[in-house]
């Protein structure tokens, strides 16, 4: 039973445009949601989080939206840059980030 699903294995966008990455979850007990970015040959790096008591969190070019009723969150990157090309994971950890449940990831390619 996969608790976290990222239904788009890949996404390709043009530099300067918006990238939208989606994540669906089934466990309503998740109370934090994290996004990680992973480059080849490196471990995942924390990107942005959102608490379940909020519906939006913004950090520079990155914004995460949470829709608890739909059990859906999305990551918006505006404007997208070639350096954003990486695999993005949605990973709700509950309260302990070290016990995260990862989705299978979305590979984002930003074309110059």
Distances (CA, A) of 4 to 15, 22, 90: 28, 11, 8
Question: Residue 92 has which token pair?
Answer: 């709700």
Question: Residue 90 has which token pair?
Answer: 């949605």
Q: How far is the CB of 106 from other proteins (least distance, A)?
A: 10
Q: How far is the CB of 71 from other proteins (least distance, A)?
A: 17
33 binds other proteins (CB under 8 A): no
Q: How far is the CB of 68 from other proteins (least distance, A)?
A: 18
Among 41, 53, 60, 112, binds other proteins (CB under 8 A): 41
Q: How far is the CB of 100 from other proteins (least distance, A)?
A: 6
Q: Report the alpha-carbon distance of residue 106 to residue 41 in Å, rounded.
A: 17
Q: Which is nearer to other proteins, 17 or 99 (CB)?
A: 99
What b/e readout covers 78-108, taking b as 16+ CB neighbours within 10 angstroms? eebeeebbbbbbbbbbeeeeeebebbebbeb
104 binds other proteins (CB under 8 A): yes
Which residues bind to other proteins, rule: CB under 8 A? 4, 6, 32, 41-46, 89, 91, 93-105
């Amino acid at each position: 039973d996969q608790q976290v699903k990222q239904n788009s294995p890949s996404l390709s966008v043009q530099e300067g445009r918006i990238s939208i990455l989606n994540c669906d979850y089934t466990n309503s007990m998740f109370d934090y949601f994290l996004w990680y970015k992973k480059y080849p040959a490196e471990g995942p790096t924390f990107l942005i989080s959102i608490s379940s008591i909020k519906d939006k969190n913004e950090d520079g070019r990155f914004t995460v939206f949470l829709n608890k009723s739909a059990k859906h969150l999305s990551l918006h990157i505006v404007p997208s840059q070639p350096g954003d090309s990486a695999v993005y994971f949605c990973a709700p950890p509950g309260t302990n980030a070290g016990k995260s449940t990862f989705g299978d990831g979305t590979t984002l390619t930003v074309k110059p």
